[in-house]
Amino acid sequence: MARGKSDQNAAILEYALRHLERERDEIQAKIEHIRRQLGSRISATPAISSEARPKRVLSESARKRIAAAQKRRWAAHRRAKAKAA
């Protein structure tokens, strides 16, 4: 009795495996089709730079301009929120 159940489980697992392999092949074919449509615009593996970019440095005046612009945006946001309430 136990042997029959084991054979049945094996058959189910084999069927599931074949089905999943077929799905994998279909998905792989779709991926390859899309890559062909994109052409050389993308690479198969993303390039990862081993070098870190140098830190960007802002001048003091640039930091002040950015801070002032952000303060203006927040002030406008608070005014609009106060009008709505």
* Cβ count near 35 (within 10 Å): 14
Predicted pLDDT at 1: 45
Q: Quick: pLDDT tens for 25-73.
A: 999 999 999 989 888 666 555 566 667 888 889 999 999 999 999 999 9
What's the pLDDT tens digit per position in 75-85?
A: 999 999 999 87
Its pTM surpasses 0.75: no
Residue 2 has pLDDT above 80, yes or no: no
Query: Rounded CA gap, 42 and 49, in Å?
Result: 16
pLDDT of residue 51: 78
Domain ranges of the chain: 2-40+59-84
